[in-house]
Chain A
């Protein structure tokens, strides 16, 4: 029998990282401030988790400019999308498997 928690991803253990992924899978490109507002976290905290997600290859960062101000946007990668949907499927299996 397949282990129901196969597919659970260590990276998504964290509430903020999971939140970032949840926002990015339904929005093409989201900037830092919108992520911050949506997840109600501090700058530093969010930045750390974004770096972590990027290092895992789950999100890509695009640095742009609006006038002189930098505008950094984040988008989910193919790998990120796959890992996220596997994670959700594993969570759902856990609930079903135990019932």
Chain B
């Protein structure tokens, strides 16, 4: 049982379920300027920062898929965009030799904004209309800022969920040695 819980996929699900519950209850009701904050997206990007681009893509896919399963939008849409966001965050992380918390917050904020902006564009591309509107700017800004603040909480959570040990965290990204 302990071995199972220590596996990254199991931990991702263990973290993802309560995070999704929080997203569909608390954050669905508590809106900032009418915008729903996106904790699942923040977690996906944080996973990229914590574990590199591959882990970020995997975590983004898992968290996005879980989110899709409770939404009415096409299944796989959030998985695709969140996976790409996690991969992008991991890529940006690999470009820096060290990652102070303020830089993590900046990357989470930037990638959150980008993903929030891209999601309705992809949706429109596959035939879901009505998501692209003037409100998108406000949504993008609010989600970016809120996720930048969330980064102080979600990056450590993502490290735990990907079972990244302290010595691994302090070492340069794995991609450098490949």
Say whether A associates with B: no
- Give residues in A with beta carbon < 8 Å to B: none
